Structure 1
């Protein structure tokens, strides 16, 4: 879904994009069972079969060198593999067949984008209404399915958006945990954009810090833009790591603090003013 706000009198000189995603994930059983106290990242579980193959290959090689045979003892092979069986079971049951409600992840971001567009459309004479900048509001689908929605958007519209700036919102829930992301699992985001946002949050007295997402936490739609060389970052408002409501049925509106949505809205409006004056 795409909406836009355009300057009233002149052709836009630049494009600024605010985005989120409206799809939700299948429930993560491990987080649900552990009440958010622990989580083995999916990439780690996915590596277990590779470790099993590696260890079995080493065991076969050692056995063949010692006994001049390529048929290792079955009992010893089973003993070697037993420690990995629980991880294979966890991998198989990693997600359930039930999609979560996704209030925080990521309808919170969609609501922020709607709030920005609503404010601008109703306040065309405000200091935040863009005079030289086209502002796009995009809600992507299939973010939880390896960022397919944003990847397709970037590939289809690259010529149009290659010089744009993207601020993506992800899981805006806690007012004291607002962070701007400089690096994700497979992409480096814009340092310059992160610093610009921090400068704004300092001016408007909103607590915010620059952070990197660690291995196993997945990625956001900003990755699709950054990999294409487009200036991009993500603003998040939740702990970096497992919590009981992440990708579970507990992800309801009750976990969202209203102030966190207002903070995201204020950051966006002040960034529009900042970039429009350049």
Structure 2
């Protein structure tokens, strides 16, 4: 583990101009007492019991994307937002499951010997017969032109599956037959949307045998892949809390969690805990004075690869993106057994690039005010803060790390939830968001707000 240490001045969100730049106001001395008084308007109203009850309800059944479990959760979340009077919208988007009917590989007209081949995740249906060409690891610039019209024999490793498929596809290959770079079978491989050639995985032993066979002359191969694509629907729930027009700074702050769980998992901590905090903060902010739009979000299909948050980010109007100044993501914030022996129960703020930003600045300062600990930051993707970062919006993931042994298991149940950790995370995020949204910190260059000085560190801490 290594640490980057620096001392910075935390400016309240009034220092963030509509353009997204930071206005560095000079203040002779910090006034943390004033900030704490404003924090109390939020954090004293947070109820861990409310959050625990929400988790209990949501984790009664799995919420896998595209299932009735997700629909049940979405209806509940939507109902809670509507009961608070928010402008609420359920946004559907398509997701896809794939059922493999058969995968056949023939060499010289005979079925390949050994383990049954497997189709890549995302491979298309297709039946092609063509000469086989060994292209090594199919790195960019190393794929020969003569692969056009042929099936590329590719070794796994060095670059991603999708890059390998694209590199041979760009040269005109009609199929991909990839062999492992270790003895760990053939359960691997991924193709992307639009890579419309059959892509199949075989074992290392099978691949090396083909490499040797090609040294003796030409080899004709057949790839026959029959995959059924099944469309389903997943959802994003969006709730907008807007200030009165005469106090509106024009800025937007977003607070999110994902409502889906893994297949067969009740997902009490992952991520009913984050959803419970989103709903609890929505309840409290509904009655708080604000001058900034606060947008509460829950995303479906996070467990499929951030599909819901990526869809949401892709359909945002440019004006909304330009006005978004911060995104706070909460994922797995209630794990009793998470965090190991790290301070603050292991709570950490992860950014995509491993750099500090407005969200981590405010989170660290709020941690000092609410619990006397400057929350560290680290570098990690793997959650729904990533699409917001990619839009240029300061973003961070709040999580207790390393995660608990029940991660992605059927044992991720309500009895593993810590009310203290729920309270802790909700207080820090709530206080941070309110620093931006409270009327005392308008987005004006001449605002006079309190500043706090806090020292917080980078930690190279793995999440699992």
Q: 211, 216, 226: which one pairs with 2:377?
A: 211
Q: Deviations over 1:211-252 (max 9, x none)?
A: 3256xxx61100111112111111112x325x3210001101
Partner-residue secondary structure (3-state), 2:302: coil
Deviation at 1:272, TM superposition (A): 2.8
Distance in 1 (alpha carbons) for counterparts of 2:253 and 2:434:
11
Structure with higher helix content: 1
Aligned to 1:115: 280
The total of aligned residue pairs comes to: 192
Aligned to 2:242: 6
Q: 15, 19, 22: which one pairs with 2:259?
A: 22
**1:131 aligns to 2:290 (yes or no):** yes
**1:240 aligns to 2:402 (yes or no):** yes
Deviation at 1:197, TM superposition (A): 0.9
Deviation at 1:207, TM superposition (A): 3.9
Deviation at 1:105, TM superposition (A): 0.5
State the TM-score, normalized to the length of structure 1. Answer: 0.63
Q: 115, 139, 143: which one pairs with 2:302?
A: 143
* 8 Å CA contact retained: 1:177, 1:208: no
* 8 Å CA contact retained: 2:365, 2:374: no
* 8 Å CA contact retained: 2:250, 2:323: no
Q: Unaligned 5+ residue runs, structure 2? A: 1-236, 336-343, 443-464
Aligned to 1:182: 351
Aligned to 1:225: 388
* 8 Å CA contact retained: 2:327, 2:359: no
Q: Using CA pairs below 8 Å that are at least 6 residues apart, which structure has the higher relative contact order? A: 1
Structure with higher strand content: 2
Aligned to 2:367: 201
* 8 Å CA contact retained: 1:130, 1:273: no
Q: Unaligned 5+ residue runs, structure 1? A: 27-98
Distance in 2 (alpha carbons) for counterparts of 1:168 and 1:113:
9
Runs of 4+ in 1 over 4 A off after TM superposition: 187-190
Distance in 1 (alpha carbons) for counterparts of 2:251 and 2:355:
19
Moved more, 137-146 or 192-201: 192-201
Distance in 1 (alpha carbons) for counterparts of 2:374 and 2:258:
22
Deviation at 1:158, TM superposition (A): 4.5
- Whichever of the two has the greater Rg, that structure is 2
Moved more, 5-14 or 223-232: 5-14
Distance in 2 (alpha carbons) for counterparts of 1:109 and 1:166:
14
Distance in 2 (alpha carbons) for counterparts of 1:173 and 1:247:
14
**1:264 aligns to 2:425 (yes or no):** yes
* 8 Å CA contact retained: 1:117, 1:137: yes
Partner-residue secondary structure (3-state), 1:131: coil
Distance in 1 (alpha carbons) for counterparts of 2:372 and 2:327:
20
Distance in 2 (alpha carbons) for counterparts of 1:22 and 1:13:
28
**1:101 aligns to 2:266 (yes or no):** yes
Deviation at 1:149, TM superposition (A): 0.5
Counterpart mapping for 1:67-106 below 5 A: 99-106=264-271
Q: CA RMSD for the aligned pairs?
A: 2.1
Distance in 2 (alpha carbons) for counterparts of 1:130 and 1:162:
23
Q: Deviations over 1:63-117 (max 9, x none)?
A: xxxxxxxxxxxxxxxxxxxxxxxxxxxxxxxxxxxx2110100010000000001
Partner-residue secondary structure (3-state), 1:172: coil
Partner-residue secondary structure (3-state), 2:332: strand
